[in-house]
Amino acid sequence: MSETLRAGVIGAGVFGGYHARQYARLPGVTFQGVYDIDPERAATVAMPLGGRAFSELEAFLACVDVVTVASPATHHAEQALAVIAAGKHVYIEKPIAISVADAERVRAAAAKAGVVVACGHQERVVFQAMGLLDVPEQPLLLEALRHGPPSDRSRDVSAVLDLMVHDIDLALAIAASNPVTAEAEGARGSDGVWDVVRAEASFESGFTAILDVSRQAAARKRTMRIVYPSGEVEIDFVARTFRNTTPFELNADFANTPAASDPLGASVEGFLQAVRGLAPRPVVTAEEAMAALDLAIAVEQALEDAG
């Protein structure tokens, strides 16, 4: 791989813009442009950053070494597979796909082609900044609440795959065991998509994750509580408050660390380090993203079963 990486983005929405700006700012990276089915939309994102708007995927893939797939989730797998087939490394915004079978196709194709796949569960970076990924004690309980006001974004998937999948990934990262059951209840939006969901997942170790998400809240709210045998950690991510009664030295000032203040940037940089062979893996691998998707789909099935 050459020292300078040519980077591009598939999808000219909000997250496509975020990723384009990351590539445009990073040293050792040349931002090539954006592919989108709407060339004018692609130009709006790409041109201010010195990139091109592409309307043909084949032409776009010929100009890049690394790609972020930031299109609607229903297109993630097919577009990631096209990137991999072209021999390019790919960062896929969460969720990695909307079915485990499609996610496995992506993982297998990347392994065969020898390319790096990263997935956009960038909040792992925040957990690392806190020190929560290094706690030498297994948690008993995680309670996560993630609420936000209505938005037209990500209406192609439920609140489970849009919001809850973040906290599912974090629960899996600290659980050190496999989930065994999932129960859920919720409410649909006017378009029939699940917008308000409360789920409870139990794990082989006895750990329990209680996850509450809403895309219909009056205001943004995001809190988390993790219970260990030796104490508790409570975080309010909006107010930036942190309470730790465990004996472990966690970072209450996590929000001011470079990584936690720009978790997407740290995640993208981790992807590029893996591509260059300077890191053994990206922040979140395809296998880890598949595990989060698997539990998210189990939650969706529990919602359907509960009616």
Alpha-carbon distance of 287 to 169, in angstroms, equals: 11
- pTM to 2 decimals? 0.95
pLDDT digits (tens, 9 = 90+) for 252-290: 999 899 999 999 999 999 999 999 999 999 999 999 999
**pLDDT at res. 307:** 72
Q: Do the domains at 5-120+265-284 and 123-252+292-306 have one common CATH topology?
A: no
Q: What is the DSSP letter of 64?
A: -
Give DSSP secondary structure letters for 84-142. HHTT-EEEEPSSS-SSHHHHHHHHHHHHHHT--EEE--THHHHHHHHTGGG-SS--SEE
Burial-class residue 31 by CB neighbours within 10 Å (0-12, 13-18, 19+).
Answer: buried
At residue 193 the predicted structure's pLDDT band, cuts being 50, 70 and 90, is very high
Closest CA to 55 of 69, 70, 43, 67: 43
At residue 2 the predicted structure's pLDDT band, cuts being 50, 70 and 90, is low
**The CATH fold of domain 5-120+265-284:** Rossmann fold (3.40.50)
Q: What is the CATH number of domain 123-252+292-306?
A: 3.30.360.10
Mean of the per-residue pLDDT values of the chain: 96
Alpha-carbon distance of 83 to 11, in angstroms, equals: 13
pLDDT digits (tens, 9 = 90+) for 65-111: 999 999 999 999 999 999 999 999 999 999 999 999 999 999 999 99
Residue 3 has pLDDT above 90, yes or no: no
Alpha-carbon distance of 215 to 187, in angstroms, equals: 10
At residue 155 the predicted structure's pLDDT band, cuts being 50, 70 and 90, is confident
* Structure token digits, residue 5: 């990486």
Burial-class residue 220 by CB neighbours within 10 Å (0-12, 13-18, 19+).
Answer: exposed
Domain positions in the chain are 5-120+265-284, 123-252+292-306
**pLDDT at res. 153:** 80
**pLDDT at res. 102:** 98
pLDDT digits (tens, 9 = 90+) for 194-231: 999 999 999 999 999 999 999 999 999 999 999 999 99
- Residue matched to tokens 């409870």: 200
**pLDDT at res. 240:** 86
> Beta strand pairing status for 221-228 and 141-147?
antiparallel
